[in-house]
Amino acid sequence: MTQKGISGGAKTALIYDSACPVCSTTVKWIEKNGEKDSFEMVACQSETLDARFPGIEPEACRQAMHLVLPDGTVLRGEKALPEIFKRLKRYRPLAAFFRLPGVELVGRIFYRWFAVRRYAIAGLFHISLRKNK
């Protein structure tokens, strides 16, 4: 889903579920591989979420990541992935992958399947919040 009109500030804000081990691990990977100062990471459990991003409901951001671009555009779930890859140093060329025919449909199906099962998947791979701290 794409949404307009939320002022995100100068950086691209990545809103994620900090209670999710997979999400927290992914955010750390993005921080490590992102261009300097390209992202602001915001937990959907943040007390300032509603004030800063009034169009994003906490429940919605627990279901899928949200990327708020500097112009206020909001990209949700799989739609955020190409924009994230565009801001990663060594992985920028992978953003073009998302323009291939059929990738959007497959990406949407996989993202939704994965998002519902991410806690179980974290358990399978022994990913925990303790390891992320």
Q: What are the tokens at 63?
A: 């279901």
Q: In the chain, how many domains are there?
A: 1
What is the per-residue pLDDT across 1-19, written as a single tens digit (0 to 9) for each? 444 444 445 789 999 999 9
Cα gap 123→89, rounded to integer Å: 29
What is the per-residue pLDDT across 14-49, written as a single tens digit (0 to 9) for each? 999 999 999 999 999 999 999 988 999 999 999 999
pTM recorded for the entire structure: 0.83
Identify the domain containing residue 86 by its residue range.
2-132
Question: Which residues does 69 contact at the CB level (< 8 Å), separation at least 6?
Answer: 8, 12, 75, 83
CATH number of 94's domain: 3.40.30
Question: Which residues does 27 contact at the CB level (< 8 Å), separation at least 6?
Answer: 14, 16, 18, 41
